[in-house]
Amino acid sequence: MIPTWKIKPHIKGDTFNSRKITFPFDITNCLIEMQFRPYGEGSVFFNWTTENNTFEKISSTEIIMKSRILDQRIGNYVSDLQVTFLDGTVYTYFKANLQILQDVTQ
């Protein structure tokens, strides 16, 4: 069974703080991406990826998931973190759930 990261709910417009992710294998030449889709939909709304440096490799086994403002539509999102190796093999490392809430103080 693939583990699921239940990310704490975030208020729309708040900062998602950076996170370090450590892998038990070498990721030197791998593409790493995490695509967030609204629950029940197929379209990607936002992502982190090594292609655009929102995931930054800091060693042969570690990346930083850079902080960003979560200014996406309110709702529940699903994702998974996938590692693509040079030979084309894709490995899903974990799944993730994220809820973006409306700021009730506005």
Predicted confidence at residue 12, as pLDDT, reads: 94
Predicted confidence at residue 53, as pLDDT, reads: 95
Predicted confidence at residue 105, as pLDDT, reads: 67
Q: Which two tokens stand for residue 30?
A: 């791998």
Each residue's pLDDT, cut to its tens digit, for the chain (106 residues) gives 888 988 999 999 999 999 999 999 999 999 999 999 999 888 999 999 999 999 999 999 999 999 999 999 999 999 999 999 999 999 999 999 999 999 876 5
Neighbours of 67 (CB within 10 A): 12
Predicted confidence at residue 51, as pLDDT, reads: 95
- CA pair distance 26, 106, nearest whole angstrom: 46
Question: Where do we find the tokens 């994220």?
Answer: 98
pTM, 2 dp:
0.87
